[in-house]
Every structure is written in C-alpha cells, then in structure tokens.
Structure 1
C-alpha cells in the first residue's frame, strides 16, 4: 500500500497550518447540530475542550454539560462562556459520567478511550430516543483512505487561507489537550459499532475524520 501523505508532505502541511490555523473538529459542529432534535432537555459533550461545541449545543438543549479531563482547558471553557448561558463545565473522566441525556456528543476523543467500553458507556447515558453523535479519527489503511487524505490536503490549505484572510496576524490555535494517533482502522471501528450500536450510521469524512450517528430506541 502506497502512503500518499509522505513525511515531507505532512511536514509542509504542518508548517502551513501553523501559519494559517483552523480547527478541523469545529468544522463539523454545524453538521452535528443538524443531526440533533430541534429541542431537547439535556445534552452531554464528552471531551468538551474549550467549550465551543457545548456552547453551540445550547441552540438545541435546555441544559448542556461539558466534561474534560484537563483542568486548564475546563477553566478556559468557563472563561469563554457568557454569564447565564445554560451550560456547565466540569473536570472529569469521560467514562465516569452518570445520569441520562437526550444528546451525547464526542468529538476527536474516542480514539483516546477503550473503544468498546466507551461506546457502551455512551449508550447507557442516552435516554430512550436519544441521539449519539461521534466525530472521530481513524488510521488510514486502504487505498481509498489515502486518496481521501490526499484530497483533503489542498482543501485543508484552502480553508486555512480563507479563514485567516484579512487578518494582520494568524488566528491563534485553540487550546487543546495532547493528542495521539488513532490506532483503529475505519473497518475495525465500523465492525465494533455494529456490534455495540446496531443501526449506527458511519461514514468517512474529509480532514481525516469519520462520523457516527446512533439513535437509541
């Protein structure tokens, strides 16, 4: 299997992204909102980071709770949240949450967790009729994966340039927790999700991501 994204290409892309930063995960926030009911009572955002998605979820949920294991980034999320907004942030482990929610979201976090245990935990957190939305990372393993990654390279550069156009200085990157490469292939993720979340809809996406949507009956 030929890897289209060579180390030289990855290094060049990294330099460009440093100069023209934008958030690949935030790119999918509007897409996530369109998969959710117009209104619901409670939403949980797992791995909420600086809180952008959790704050956006207030357009759908009467109350939103964001949880992240990094105390610094939780404090930053609180600082960025307007007073009176129906969203709370707490330091905590993703798999230690309790209660039930009509919506559970998880963006770029699942590959840091034990896969089967995490999906089982999210399933239990959902109220009947609730919706789980995951945006995750996977390990490229097929020619199609590498081709999709190659297509994303010029689009990534174009979006970085457009989103920073007109700025006298590049936008500073969002505060994020340390990351690690995904170890599971898309096929492995799809197979595991089919066992744990029957009927889940998965799809490869641009910018080295996949999406998973599941509704609990």
Structure 2
C-alpha cells in the first residue's frame, strides 16, 4: 500500500485540480462547535482569504485574522464587509499576535509551517481562562492506521468533489492560501508534543488527510482573587 499510494495520490491531485473543493473549509462547522458559550474575541492564525474569520464573526463579538502573506490578507479585506467585526493583520503569529486574550484561537492547515511546540506555547499564552484552542492540521503518514485512513479518504474525497461541483459549469473556487509545504511530523509526534505542552488536549485523525486538536484552558476560583488558570 505504501508504494501504491503515492501513484494514487498523484492521480487524485489531477482529479482535484479539475474538481476542486476546500478540504479545510470542510472542518469549519466542526470549529464552530468548539466555541465556548461566551465568546467575545477570537483569533484565526493563518487566516488566508478570511472565510473562517468571517464565519466566526457571525458568532463572536470580534475576530482577528493574521497571515504572513500580505497579498492574501489584502484579498481577505476586500472580501469582508467593512461593517463586519473582523480585522486582518500581516505578520508572524508567534511574534506579532494582535492583543488578546482570546476566547477562541483557531489554526487551520497552518501549524505545520511553524515550530510546533513553540506555536502551542504561544497559543496557550494568548488564550483567555475558559478559552478554547481548535487546530486542524496535517501530518506525515507513517503507521498502518495512517495509511488505512488515507485509503478510506480517497473515495470519500472523490465523492465530495462530485457532490460539491455537481451542476456547476465552472469549478467551485477554493479559498486562497499561502504556498504550502508537506508536513514533517507524524501523528504520533504531534500527539506526544501536544500532551507535553497542553495536558488534556484531545487529538484525533480525520478524513481528508487532517487531524484535529482541541484544548480548553480551564479556570477556577481562587480565594485570593478572581480566576486563575489550571493547566
């Protein structure tokens, strides 16, 4: 399977080029389900052309997107209603995060471009007590389970492409993103590093070559003052 899969993936890439659909947007509704009950401020890291940030703005008081690509950030601003509670910044998310803290931090198909442990530490520091970190990432397949899920994803991907492009004369446009690179960490590496930085984080392999990570920054009442975080 490991030798056949690369050839199948190349054929799938060709099919996807003519029948495109956004694998990352497939998980946007999942992210909405992770929102804390009271969410006044959210940060979307690697915001691209802003689809997720605009979706979050329908549920959150203020949303900040940050991306390293200025062209894509400009595109996000052009696509966003000026009256919407959304702003977009250009910069390194590990060094130039807009002032928080945030009730929700999202990072979709972006964290593999960063030092993984450093990114988790940064996100944790900018998360408000009671806040949630929701990551959708990619990993390098290594185990039999990885390749099995990849194999299952292939027919599912084809089916989704047909469904989403059905009846369209022109392919459905896919959101702009910065140039990507392959993931270098295996899922086992990711789980191990995540549990070191974010005890209690929940990680799952998902279809379409993705994994999800959810972590909640808990809060408790301190007799000497207001909320303090427990990690």
Q: How does 1:44-193 map to 2 (within 5 A)?
A: 44-96=43-95, 97=97, 98-193=99-194
d(CA) in 2 for partners of 1:68, 1:51: 10
- Secondary structure of the residue aligned to 1:7 is helix
Contact kept in structure 2, 1:45 and 1:64, CA below 8 Å: yes
Shift of 1:11: 1.6
Structure 1 residue 72: deviation in Å? 0.6
Tell me if structure 2 keeps the 8 A contact 1:38–1:60: no
* Native 8 Å contact 1:4 1:146 kept in 2: no
Alpha carbons 1:4, 1:150 under 8 Å: kept: no
Greater CA drift, 2-11 or 14-23: 2-11
Structure 2 unaligned spans of 5+: 219-231
Q: Secondary structure at the match of 2:118?
A: helix
C-alpha separation in 1, matches of 2:198 and 2:209: 22
4+ runs deviating over 4 angstroms: none
Q: Indicate if the aligned counterparts of 1:39 and 1:60 stay in contact, CA closer than 8 A.
A: no
The separation in 2 between residues aligned to 1:201 and 1:87, in whole angstroms, is 28
What TM-score do the two structures reach when normalised by structure 1? 0.96
Listed one character per residue, the Cα deviations across residues 7-31 of structure 1 (whole Å, up to 9, x for unaligned) are 3211210111011100110000000
Contact kept, 8 Å, 2:36 with 2:131, in 1: the verdict is no
Counterpart Cα distance in 2 of 1:147 and 1:15? 21
CA-CA distance at 1:5 after TM superposition: 5.2
1:28 maps onto 2:21 in alignment: no
Q: CA RMSD in A?
A: 1.1
- Which protein shows a greater Rg? 2
Partner of 1:7: 6
Is the CA contact (8 Å cut-off) linking 1:111 and 1:136 kept in structure 2? yes
Normalised by the length of structure 2, the TM-score is 0.91
Cα deviation, 1:153-179, whole Å, max 9, x if unaligned, reads 011011011101111111233221110
Paired residues in the alignment total: 216
